[in-house]
Amino acid sequence: MSLSLALTGLVLAADQPTVEKPTGFFGALATAAQWFIGLFNEGGKVFVGLLTGIIPTLIVLLTFVNALIVLIGPDKINRLGEVAARPGLVYYPLRYLILPALSVFFLTNPMCYTMGQFLPEKYKPAFYDSQVSFVHPITGLFPHANAGELFVFLGIAAGITGLGGQIGDLAIRYFLVGLVVCFIRGCFTEFITFRMTSRRPVTKEAAA
């Protein structure tokens, strides 16, 4: 063992001087090429890390949730949309908290906005704001809802993983704070929409 090690050492030592560092014009080219390919070697390592670290679990989770959504039937929340259209303070949490969350979960990113068709015109901008604010906070726990934009959460979560922490804490807090924020945005945008429509004298009876 030690003999072979010593031998390789010897061979290396003997080899070392024969391979000189490239110099001159071609040497500079070679160094540049080495550096250039190094950029992409590094990127390749990152890619494989993402591939083995995220994709396997994601595939199984996405399959499960996709099947669950079809088995439950997304049309069932349409009825909820009709209830949420009612005026009154009681329906605010339903309209800007429960309905956005459920529609993003079941209908997923671009299609969830069709849920707004059950609401009266005056609520639509606020409802959209509320929904779209939730498409990233949901990805921490349910990546299927917005699979094309996972890296807002995954990017920052990778930092926590890099420190040796668990991302569960961040995911659940992101989800909960996201709910609070989407409720606040819904209420505030509704307020602004009402103010803006009442300021337009041209529009017929929209102010009311």
Partner 1 sequence: MSTTDTETRPGGRGGAMGGLNNLIVKIGKSVGKVVGVLYQAGRDTIDTIIRNILPFMAFIAMIIGIVNATGLGDALAHLVEPLAGSLPGLIAISIFCSIPILSPILGPGAVIAQIVGVLLGTRIAAGDVPPQYALPALFAIDPQVGCDFIPVGLALAEAEPETVEVGVPAVLFSRMVTGPLAVVIAYFASFGMYSGLSE
What is the footprint of partner 1 within residues 117-176 (CB under 8 A)?
117, 119, 121-122, 124-129, 131-133, 135-137, 144, 147-165, 169-170, 173-174, 176
Query: Which residue pairs, CB below 8 angstroms and at least 24 apart, start in 196-204?
Result: 197/122
Minimum CB separation of residue 94 from partner 1 in Å reads 17
Q: In the stretch 1-20, what mask flags binding to partner 1 with x, by CB under 8 A?
A: --------------------
Q: Is 180 in the site for partner 1 (CB under 8 A)?
A: yes
Taking CB under 8 A as the binding criterion, the range among 6-14, 19-27, 38-46, 89-97 that sits at the site for partner 1 is 38-46
Contact set for partner 1, span 62-81 (CB under 8 A) = 62-64, 66-67, 70-71
Cβ proximity of 126 and 113 under 8 Å: no
d(CA 125, CA 136): 19
By CB under 8 A, is residue 111 in contact with partner 1?
yes
In the complex, the smallest distance separating the C-beta of residue 155 from partner 1, rounded to whole angstroms, is 3
- Number of residues binding to partner 1, judged by CB under 8 A: 84
74-83 own/partner pairs: CB under 8 Å, 24+ apart: 74/106, 74/107, 77/102, 77/103, 77/106, 77/115, 78/115, 78/118, 81/115, 81/117, 81/118, 81/119, 82/118
Tell me which of 6, 7, 33, 51 binds partner 1, using CB under 8 A: 51
Fill in the DSSP letter of residue 95.
Answer: I
32 binds partner 1 (CB under 8 A): no
Binding-site member from 77, 101, 115, 138 for partner 1 (CB under 8 A): 115
Six-digit token pair at 164?
Answer: 């040796």
Can you read off the two tokens belonging to residue 70?
A: 């079809």
Looking at beta carbons only, is 27 or 49 nearer to partner 1? 49
CB of 23 to partner 1, least distance (A): 24
| CA torsion through residues 38, 41, 42, 43, sign | positive
Exactly one of 114, 138, 141, 145 binds partner 1 (CB under 8 A); that residue is 114
Least separation in angstroms between CB 59 and partner 1? 6
Q: What is the dihedral of CA 23, 25, 30, 33, to 10 degrees?
A: 140
